Structures are given as structure tokens and as C-alpha cells.
Amino acid sequence: MSTTTTARPAPTTWGLGISRGGLELRRFFRNRDAVIFTFSLPTVLLVLLGSVFSGQYEGTGVSASQILAAGMIAAGIMSTTFVSLGIDIATDRDDGTLKRLRGTPMPPAAYFVGKVVLVAVTTVAQTVLMLTVAVLLFDLSLPDTAARWFTLVWVFVLGVISCSLLGIAISTLAANARSASAIVQLPYLALQFISGVFVNPISALPAGLVTLASFFPVKWMAQGFRSVFLPDIMVRFEAAGAWELDRVALVLGAWCVAGLALCLTLPILGPRRR
């Protein structure tokens, strides 16, 4: 009994958040179907589409599958952040997880820290998996300069943050866990198409669609990753004829701010009907 009355430091938000992250990861990796689905879908698509589009861009030595790989890594990030979180939080709301947590003294921020830990681990794992496949099957080269590595990191980080926040926000639109799946898959698939993930080069798409896609993060993430993994000669296939890294940072940063504003406004943890 002595242990129960021992005074101990008050639990901190960070400590509880990390502890929640541990639970989230265990929960995630124990649900084998979801793990296989989350990780295999973008990778399988990459392998299948990469095998179909095996042609080379004349005079560049770059294959269509390499362009695809750069774009698919962007799509993979959206899958483990936006899609996963959108469904995950709607499920937490549906099955009573959120109601139970609101009944405890857990600081709400700890819940989000836990999700961040989950998303960080799954997204890094997903990206490493897809990069490995692309390097092995499609001869994608890893970045060869520090500047390109740096670009890879910041595009990755801004992409993860913006898509995660949007996933958290969109979870509030779903009436239940099942409808969440439909609600997040639609923008996910549509954005992949109009952002030039499947259709390469992006300049092959109607200009109207590219303009529409330019309002959303996926197009810019894919563009940023192409600048990292493709030789500079490929820049002429971009819609603007340039990598536009400043714009990539601007749009992704803007979505981080907008996503955060949405998350602070919407009743993410709270009930919709009081």
C-alpha cells in the first residue's frame, strides 16, 4: 500500500502525450489489417504504376517511374497523416475514446501529442518503405547534396504538419467512423489525380486542374520531392518551368497555419451536440 500514497510530481502534458503515443503505436500496430492497408496501398500503387509507366523522358535519362515515385511519396505522406488521422479521430469519437478521455484530467493537448507521435512514426516508416522500393526497383537516386537533403526534410515536415492538421479538422465532418473513411478518401484520391501524382508530367494535365490543385498541399509536396530526387534538367516539365521552392514553402506553411486555426476553432475533442 505504501506505493499508493507516495507523493509524485504532477503529470505533465508532454509526459502524458508521449505515454499516449506509446499506446497509440501499440494500438495501431496490433490492428494488422489497418497496418497492411496503410503501408501497402501507396507502395503497391507505386510498384504497379511504376511498372506500367516505364518509358524514359528523352534526353534526360529519367524514367516516368522515377517521377511517379517522387509524387507517390507525397501521396504516401497524405495517406498516413490526413487519411489516417481523419479516420482515426472520427473512430475515437465514435467508439467513446474521446468521451472517456474528457472525463479524466488528461490535458487535451496530450491527446494530440500522442497522435503526433503515432503519425511521425508511421509516416517516417511509410516514406522509408517507398523510398527503398523506388531505389531498388526504379533506380531512384537519393539526394546527392546537403541542400537537397535539407529540402527533403523541410518539405516532409511541413507536409506532415499541414496534412495532419487538415486530417484532424476533417474528422469533425464525419458523423461516424465509417463515413469518415468516405469523407477523407475522396479529397485524397482527387488531389492525387489533379496534383500530377499519377499523370506525369504535371503539365500534361488541363491547366484548370493544375490551378485548382495549386490551392492544396499535395501538388507542392510532390513538386518539392521532384526537386529533391530528379536531376535539374527535369525542371522544364514543371508547369511553371521552375521548382518554385519558395512557393512550396509558402503554400505548405500557409496550410499549417490554416490547419492550426481550424483545429483551434473546431470542437475536435468535444461533442457536436450538447
**Residues at the contact surface with other proteins, assessed by CB under 8 A:** 1, 3-5, 7-8, 10-11, 15-16, 19-20, 23, 26-27, 30-31, 92, 95-97, 99-100, 102-107, 271, 273-274
| Closer residue to other proteins in complex, CB, 101/260 | 101
Taking the C-alpha atoms of residue 35 and residue 216, their distance in angstroms, rounded to an integer, is 27
- Residue 260 burial class via C-beta count within 10 angstroms: exposed 0-12, middle 13-18, buried 19 and up: middle
3-state secondary structure of 40: helix
In the complex, the smallest distance separating the C-beta of residue 124 from other proteins, rounded to whole angstroms, is 21
In the complex, the smallest distance separating the C-beta of residue 105 from other proteins, rounded to whole angstroms, is 4
Question: What is the CA angle 134-135-138, rounded to 5?
Answer: 60
C-alpha cell at 177: 467512423
3-state secondary structure of 75: helix
| Closer residue to other proteins in complex, CB, 29/150 | 29
Taking the C-alpha atoms of residue 148 and residue 46, their distance in angstroms, rounded to an integer, is 22
In the complex, the smallest distance separating the C-beta of residue 36 from other proteins, rounded to whole angstroms, is 15
In the complex, the smallest distance separating the C-beta of residue 1 from other proteins, rounded to whole angstroms, is 6
User: Is the bond leading into 105 cis (omega within 30 degrees of zero)?
Assistant: no
Taking the C-alpha atoms of residue 49 and residue 69, their distance in angstroms, rounded to an integer, is 9
| Closer residue to other proteins in complex, CB, 136/273 | 273
CA gyration radius, the chain:
20
In the complex, the smallest distance separating the C-beta of residue 85 from other proteins, rounded to whole angstroms, is 17
Taking the C-alpha atoms of residue 64 and residue 200, their distance in angstroms, rounded to an integer, is 7
Which distant-in-sequence residues (6+ apart) come within 8 Å of 160 by Cβ? 77, 81, 119, 120, 123
| Closer residue to other proteins in complex, CB, 15/61 | 15
| Closer residue to other proteins in complex, CB, 31/211 | 31
| Closer residue to other proteins in complex, CB, 6/145 | 6
In the complex, the smallest distance separating the C-beta of residue 19 from other proteins, rounded to whole angstroms, is 6
